[in-house]
Structure 1
């Protein structure tokens, strides 16, 4: 199975939450249409849009979330980024990014039937690295990564800051997407 096949399977198998008047379900269908139209739809070279993978790192026992202050965006975000050729599964790409950017070994993605379970989808405009790159769209598949007991985060070179926040005290510079993802993570791990 290719990464493309896994992404299609993950999106086909995922049941969108019913709390947003169908917006998540419409995104799911849009992502599937994108993958159907673009065999290269998971790679940053696919323009004007490509699939990305992210994971919000949570510590449910302490009701907190780990966020990174993104240097280019200037906002507190979950960990995530582009898929790489070595990623066999879309969830594995999200877990790799979360592990690299948090420095925490032993993160565990929430699963259903032994497979990583997406939590939400988010579509947003970005400029990928490179001066000659046009603005494009990230079709982000968002997961929840549970930190092991006693986990200590280590800031990476991809971040200006890395910090734990209480679910009820997210930073002002966390956007609507992050707030929605944290709420969903809280619901799934509660």
Structure 2
């Protein structure tokens, strides 16, 4: 199975919790149906990315990275690599690389989708079709900042940094999954 076919399978089997997420799911599936290169960073109209909302063992804190290009606190994640065989694997790889935490556990189904415009490594405006997964850290996990981050911190869910309102729907979806 290729990453592209995995993305089609994962999204096709996912049951979103609301109409907005269902509409995005259908848009992603349409994009994947139209582009064999939809998961490749080189796809200029946009490309599928994989990210991880990392929660601590108590589900009271989330690990956010201060992104050097964007200058904002974000969940961990990024581009799919040619070696990635699954979206889930790409999200777990990104979370592990960016957090330095071993033993992360990723939930099999996405929790949230988000499309956002960005000028990434292509150097031209494009879009990220982000597929977001819930990832749980082991008890006592201590993150180690990578070169991909200006800062990396655990944030209490009830005391998040300013300017992260766009992360709240993803956090709400993760917490709903845990209930």
* TM-score (norm. length: structure 2): 0.96
Runs in 1 of length 4+ with deviation above 6 angstroms? none
Taking the aligned partners of 1:149 and 1:117, their CA distance within structure 2 comes to 22
Aligned residues: 179
Q: Contact (CA 8 Å) 1:60, 1:186: kept in 2 or not? A: no
The answer for the alignment partner of 2:133 in structure 1 is 143
Taking the aligned partners of 2:109 and 2:146, their CA distance within structure 1 comes to 26
Q: Contact (CA 8 Å) 2:57, 2:138: kept in 1 or not? A: no
Say whether 1:183 aligns with 2:172.
yes
The structure 2 residue matched to 1:119, chosen from 94, 101, 111, is 111
- Deviations along 1:40-75, one digit per CA (max 9) or x if unpaired, are 100111121110000010014151101000011111
Deviation at 1:129, TM superposition (A): 1.8
The answer for the alignment partner of 2:150 in structure 1 is 160
The answer for the alignment partner of 1:113 in structure 2 is none
The answer for the alignment partner of 1:7 in structure 2 is 7
Taking the aligned partners of 1:6 and 1:78, their CA distance within structure 2 comes to 22
Say whether 1:29 aligns with 2:29.
no
Structure 1 gap segments, 5+ residues each: 111-115
Deviation at 1:135, TM superposition (A): 0.3
Structure 2 gap segments, 5+ residues each: none
Residues 127 and 54 from structure 1, CA distance in 2 versus in 1: closer, same or farther, beyond 3 angstroms?
Answer: same
Q: Contact (CA 8 Å) 2:96, 2:104: kept in 1 or not? A: yes
- Deviations along 1:132-165, one digit per CA (max 9) or x if unpaired, are x210000000001000111110001100110111
